[in-house]
C-alpha cells in the first residue's frame, strides 16, 4: 500500500504491481529472463558496462527469479482505458519510479530484502502475466528474507557533500 501513496502526474497513479508467488509462473519468468540475459552478456553489453558490473559479480544466471518467495513485477500505464476511451497519463516514468522507490523502502522497512532488476527487453513479462496493451513492464523486484550466505558486494554510497549543494 505504501507504494500506491506515491505522488503522480495529475494523480493518475499510472502503475500496477503484479505480485507473483506461483512457482510455475516464476519458473517461466526465470527461463525467459535468462535467455535474454545470456544474449545481453554474450552479444550486447559493452566492455565498459561489463567492467562496471564486475565488482557486483552479476552474470546471466538469475536464480533469484524462482528462489525468491515473491517477485513483484511493476507495470507502467502510459494511458488508462475508461469506458472504452483512452485517457492520457502524465509523467509516467517519474511517477512509477517514485512508487517503486517507496515500495523498495517499505520492503526494507519490513526487514525484507529486494533487488532492482531490469531485464531488457521486458516484453515477455506482459505475455506471461497476460497484461493488457496499455501496461508496459517497468521493473522486477524479487522480495524475500536475506540469504546469510549470499555474496554482498563491497559498495559505498556517495558522501553527503557530493550529492547535496546548499545555496
Ligand atoms: C534502474 C536500475 C536498474 C537495475 N538493474 C539491475 C539489473 O538488471 N540486475 C541487477 O542485478 N541489478 C540491477 N540494479 C541494481 C543495482 O546494481 C544496485 O541498486 C546498485 O549496485 C546499488 O546497490 P544497492 O541497491 O544494494 O544499494 C539496478 C538498479 C537500478 C536503480
- Parallel, antiparallel or unpaired: strands 135-144 and 113-114: antiparallel
Ligand 1 pocket: which of 33, 74, 103, 118 to mutate (most atoms <8 Å of CB)? 118
pLDDT, one tens digit for every residue, the chain (167 residues): 899 999 999 999 999 999 999 999 999 999 999 999 999 999 999 999 999 999 999 999 999 999 999 999 999 999 999 998 999 999 999 999 999 999 999 999 999 999 999 999 999 999 999 999 999 999 999 999 998 888 888 899 999 999 999 99
Query: Which triple of cell numbers denotes residue 11?
Result: 494523480
Nearest-CA residue for ligand 1 atom 16 is 116
Output the pLDDT for position 1: 82
- pTM for this prediction: 0.95
The answer, yes or no, to whether any atom of ligand 1 lies below 6 A from the CB of 19, is: no
How buried is 34 (Cβ within 10 angstroms: 0-12 exposed, 13-18 middle, 19+ buried)? Answer: middle
Domains of the chain: 3-163 (3.40.109.10)
Query: Which triple of cell numbers denotes residue 29?
Result: 519468468
Amino acid at each position: 500500500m505504501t507504494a500506491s501513496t506515491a505522488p503522480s502526474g495529475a494523480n493518475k497513479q499510472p502503475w500496477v504491481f503484479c505480485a507473483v508467488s506461483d512457482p510455475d509462473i516464476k519458473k517461466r519468468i526465470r527461463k525467459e529472463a535468462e535467455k535474454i540475459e545470456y544474449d545481453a552478456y554474450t552479444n550486447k553489453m559493452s566492455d565498459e558496462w561489463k567492467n562496471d558490473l564486475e565488482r557486483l559479480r552479476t552474470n546471466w544466471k538469475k536464480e533469484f527469479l524462482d528462489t525468491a518467495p515473491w517477485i513483484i513485477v511493476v507495470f507502467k500505464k502510459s494511458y488508462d482505458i475508461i469506458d472504452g476511451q483512452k485517457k492520457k497519463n502524465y509523467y509516467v516514468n517519474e511517477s512509477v519510479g517514485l512508487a517503486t522507490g517507496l515500495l523498495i523502502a517499505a520492503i526494507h522497512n519490513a526487514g525484507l530484502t529486494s533487488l532492482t532488476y531490469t531485464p531488457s527487453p521486458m516484453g515477455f513479462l506482459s505475455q506471461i502475466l497476460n497484461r493488457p496493451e496499455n501496461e508496459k513492464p517497468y521493473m522486477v523486484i524479487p522480495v524475500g528474507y536475506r540469504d546469510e550466505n549470499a555474496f554482498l558486494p563491497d559498495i559505498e554510497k556517495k558522501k553527503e557533500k557530493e550529492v547535496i549543494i546548499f545555496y
